[in-house]
Amino acid sequence: MRISSNLFFETGLRTINLQQSDLMHRYQQVGTGRRMITPADDPLAAAQTINIAQSQSLNVRYAENRQVAKTQLGIQENTLDSVSTLLSGLKTRLVEAGNGTLSDADRGVLANVLENAKDNLMGLANATDGNGQYLFSGHSGSRPPFIADSFGAVSYQGDEGRRLIQVDQTRQLDSADTGLDIFTKAAPGARDYITHVAAGNQGTGIIGKPIIADPKGQYVGAKFELSFTEAGDGSMEYSVTVRDAADYILSGPSVPVAYDDSTETLALPGGVQVAFSGMPADGDAFSVEPVFVTDPFISAQQSALGTEGTAVLGKPGVTDPAGEYMGKQVDVAFQDNAGTLQYQLTVDGATGPWVDYTDPGPGGVLDLGGGLEVAFEGVPNDGYAFSVEPVEPSTNLNVFDALDDIIEALKTPIQGDPAAHANYQNVLASAMQRLDVNFDQVQTVVSSVGTRLSEIDAIDANSNVRGLSYAQDLSRLEDVDYYEAIAQLQLRTAALDAASMAFKKIQATSMFNMKG
């Protein structure tokens, strides 16, 4: 085989270039500390590196989100601690207001103190975070949650939106509670009753704190209305009307019961008792209202009487608390379609198809879907309709309204007027009951905030472990082994020197240099 001089030179030059390229690659590895200079060095490891780097980046983003949530929750916790302190002081003031030795002037001074406390409470309710956003206004962060009208009545102006922050791959956390929940509602699970007195009462009857005597009583969770009338012999009688959360009458008015002013409690139907003293006048009225509901839905016939046929409508039931129809009104209408009875559902205005109806029989239920059912049996007539409506406690628990009521009562002269004194005591008792409920709710929210902060700490600890694992995996895939790289660098340097010397040797070879 004949080897030309060009082939000698090309082979030598190509060998030197390859060795230089390999040497440069080793220089880059040692200089950057990275094992992979290009994805071609290790395609599989390069793909794994991209996935791990993305996970690491998300982990860092979630950590930053958690820091934001911790800041927001910390501000809320500090604000609510101040609210708790203020409410505790107000409760002490209300106990002081019940002192029978106070004059009208003393009560007027106390009214001024409570007005200042109300202003302070409103300032806390309208607190902002470090970015100028209102803490308790839901999604309406640029709008103050509570606004007073020209008469001083305070109402909630925010929305019920939740400020959710993604604190982990599968966890969103509420970073702020709404003022509606904190200052106008009872704590979940609360089973308290609040008393109210009619504005026009003329007697000296004083209603006290209600208690649930029988937790399984038939009307626990219902509203009670007491009406006093004067009997023909001049004695006082009272009757009781029981209503549900939607104000439908469940029972009553009851047969009048003789009132004995020496009694200390009145037994209301269905498991509730209430403290009572004094002598009410003819026409005086009182109410005992729950801050909770035992049934989240109620049912009521909507069509004209006579359309029910043999149908018997009972109570609704919840089959799935997370169902589609939770918190929505469901209207059910029946029609006779050529001899076939059918029913149709309308959920919050959205009408569904007609469905053939089959009588469930005695003790049966009609499954409405969406997590709801209703006790129903019999065959209704064409045109029959009923509704299943969500309900919430109707009791007014706005803490600012409670303060307004007691401030107005403190400003009203009562000296020498037994009826006015009784009305004052009733308003004071109602305000104290509502403040107790508000205070419990604030404490519940503070506890919830602490729980969320603890959860963030736990997620942080887990995130740190994940971050360390991601860093180790990236190091294993990307970082160069300096011992191996330096050894390879020396080896490639020697190889390049050898290739250069060989090329020089070949370059010096010539037919004219050979001896004959």
Query: Six-digit token pair at 15?
Result: 């060998």
CA distance 181 to 264: 35
Q: Does 10 have pLDDT greater than 70?
A: no
Q: Which of 218-227, 233-242, 475-484 has the lowest mean pLDDT?
A: 475-484
| pLDDT at residue 512 greater than cutoff 60 | no
Per residue in 239-276, pLDDT (tens digit) is 999 988 777 788 878 899 999 888 889 999 888 999 99
CA distance 324 to 330: 11
Cross-strand bridge partners of residue 240: 226
Tell me if 430 sits within 8 A of 85, measured CB to CB.
no
Beta bridge partners of 125: none
What is the rounded CA–CA span in Å between residue 499 and residue 509?
16
Count of residues making up the chain: 516
Give tens-digit pLDDT for 186-213: 888 888 899 999 988 999 999 999 999 9
Question: pLDDT tens, 393-435?
Answer: 767 889 999 999 999 999 989 888 888 899 999 999 999 999 9
pLDDT of residue 186: 87
Element (H, E) at 365: strand 365-369
Higher pLDDT, 508 or 381: 381
The Cα 259–Cα 394 span in angstroms is 28
Strands (E), 269-311: 272-277, 285-290, 297-301
**Residues 367-390 pLDDT 10s:** 998 889 999 999 999 999 998 888
Choose between 229 and 479: higher pLDDT: 229
Break the chain into its structural domains and give their ranges: 53-185, 297-390
pLDDT at res. 516: 47
**What is the rounded average pLDDT for all residues in the chain?**
85
Crossing angle of helices 104-125 and 399-411, rounded to 10°: 160
Where do we find the tokens 């934001």?
Answer: 68
How much is the pTM? 0.74
Please indicate whether residue 127 or residue 503 has the higher confidence score (pLDDT). 127
- pLDDT band, very low/low/confident/very high, at 504 (cuts 50, 70, 90): low
Q: What angle do helix axes 43-97 and 418-478 make, rounded to 10 degrees?
A: 160
Neighbours of 169 (CB within 10 A): 11
Q: Which pLDDT tens digit goes with each residue over 302-328?
A: 888 888 889 988 888 888 888 888 888
What pLDDT sits at residue 407? 92
Query: Prior bond to 253 cis, omega within 30?
Result: yes
Alpha-carbon span 452 to 440, nearest angstrom: 18
Amino acid at 407: I
CATH class of the domain comprising 53-185: mainly alpha
Q: Quote the pLDDT of residue 243.
A: 87
d(CA 211, CA 290): 11
Q: Using omega within 30 degrees of 0 as the cis cutoff, is the peptide bond preceding 362 cis?
A: no
Answer for the pair 369, 352: CB distance below 8 angstroms, yes or no. Answer: no
Q: Identity (one letter) of the amino acid at 206?
A: I
Residue-wise pLDDT for 52-108, tens only, equals 778 888 888 889 899 989 999 999 999 999 999 999 999 998 888 888 778 889 889
pLDDT at 79: 94
